[in-house]
Amino acid sequence: MSVYAVVNPATGERLATYPTMTDADVETALAAAAGAFRGWARGATVEERAALVRRVAELHRERREELAAIVVREMGKPLAAALGEVDFAADITEYYADNAAAITGDSPLEILGEGTAVIRRTPLGALLGIMPWNFPYYQVARFAAPNLVVGNTIVLKHAPQCPESAAAIAQIYADAGFPEGAYVNVYASNEQAAVMIADSRIAGVSVTGSERAGSAVAALAGQNLKKVALELGGSDPFIVLSTDDLDTVIEGAVEARMDNNGQSCNAPKRFIVAEDLYDAFVEKFTAAMTACTMGDPFAEDTVLGPLSSLAAAERLEAQVSNAVAQGATLVAGGKRDGAFYEPTVLTDVTKDMDVYREELFGPAAVIYRVAGEDEAVALANDTTYGLGSYVYTTDPEQADRMASAIDAGMVYVNCVLADSPELPFGGVKRSGTSREMGLLAADEFVNKKLVRVA
């Protein structure tokens, strides 16, 4: 049986199955992407590449309802969130079309001698993207769009539970007028992906997914001397030190934690609260979490749909149950019904518990009490992850200190869900090695060639 299948997590119904590619198909995909590279990189102008990328953004907007419905079926994303993802993917794609000249132009250097020197960015070749299930459109947009503009070609392996959205995206690139081989969708097994990584026709690999998957791909890419970009998991801290409006802080905290049914790498998962605000925060946060409407992801009032699969819900259930068994306090939630999992709040978590070090990928949160700024920073940094972070304070100087002290790729002060196409996204430590979105994303897979003229 093929591993590529659409299984509606809200009902458990298997809706469609897509065939896993053969080894001959792997060869065909690699040959197509490598064969298209020269013509795409040198035969098409920057303006021509940007125009096709812009058409991809337009097609996302034209097909937004169709595209959104697909991911609701595939992974249980509430419809409003699915529509928002399609819109954001369109915005990201359009951003790179708009900024094509900036990401492909020469960068002059000041030199000590006579003459001139510039950095000229040239594409590397065919790239393999290994994408996750939680944001099927957004993740592809931030990888494919900048790399296609600079002249690379794309081989895209999506998660096995997202074959329908993968096909829909591939169709968009075809309908936009991309030459054959510029964007190639593959329903590959992990073993076939390993073959592609090792193949000399693949110039680089981008992975968004789990720490385990990233580590495996990075090891193989390293063996083959391939550039690899990694965006992995996170256990982002949400630090509350002072506020004039706790209700607004709570609203942002819950909105960010429940984003994508709690299945977002950079969602806050550890809430670190100053002791003078702690009791009120726990009470208000718990009330707001449990008030979130859980149900049919196609219903307009649904905030929380099912997790992406039964296995994902069972994994979260086991983590929470283990935390309680080890001494954590279950303030609310903790119950599973199929792939649906209640909004859950844990307190009294200590360093000797497994959940202290784990990423909770679902609608569950841990709240910690701290005495002040130094303790908050120490707790925030006591993790192997370093993706995003959130700081709420009324003191601008404290905010600046916290931003410098937190070990993370991103720090958001007094705001949540503030991602934007022009802002780079990525982490440090075991959360990743690269940046996506913004102008920095276009520098991941290019040859920064020095051109020195005497």
Domain spans in the chain, listed from the N-terminal domain onward: 4-232+432-453, 236-420
- Helix, coil or strand: residue 388: coil
Torsions phi, psi of 386, nearest 5?
-165, 55
Q: If you ran DSSP here, which 8-state letter would residue 433 be given?
A: S
**Helices (H) then strands (E): counts for the chain:** 14, 19
pLDDT value for 443: 95
Q: Contact, 204 vs 228, CB < 8 A? A: yes
DSSP 96-160: HHHTHHHHHS-EE---SSSSEEEEEEEE--EEEEE--SSSHHHHHHHHHHHHHHHT-EEEEE--T
Residue 144 CA: distances (Å) to CA of 129, 131, 141, 193, 403: 8, 11, 5, 18, 30
Pick the CATH number of 4-232+432-453 from 3.40.605.10, 3.40.190.80, 3.40.50.10490, 3.90.550.10: 3.40.605.10
The ranges of the chain with pLDDT < 70 are 1
pLDDT value for 210: 87
Render pLDDT for 219-238 as a digit per residue (tens, 0 to 9).
999 999 999 999 999 999 99
pTM: 0.96
Strand partners, 294: 304
Render pLDDT for 304-347 as a digit per residue (tens, 0 to 9).
999 999 999 999 999 999 999 999 999 999 999 999 999 999 99
pLDDT value for 269: 98
Query: Could you tell me the fold of the domain covering 236-420?
Result: Aldehyde Dehydrogenase; Chain A, domain 2 (3.40.309)
Q: How many whole angstroms separate alpha carbon 308 and alpha carbon 387?
A: 22
Q: How many whole angstroms separate alpha carbon 301 and alpha carbon 103?
A: 41
Catalytically active residues, by annotation: 231, 265
Residue 113 CB contacts under 8 Å (≥ 6 apart), including other chains: none
pLDDT value for 367: 98
Q: How many whole angstroms separate alpha carbon 113 and alpha carbon 49?
A: 36
E-only strand ranges, 197-282 = 202-208, 227-231, 236-240, 268-274
Residue whose entry in the numeric block shows the structure tokens 């994994």: 315
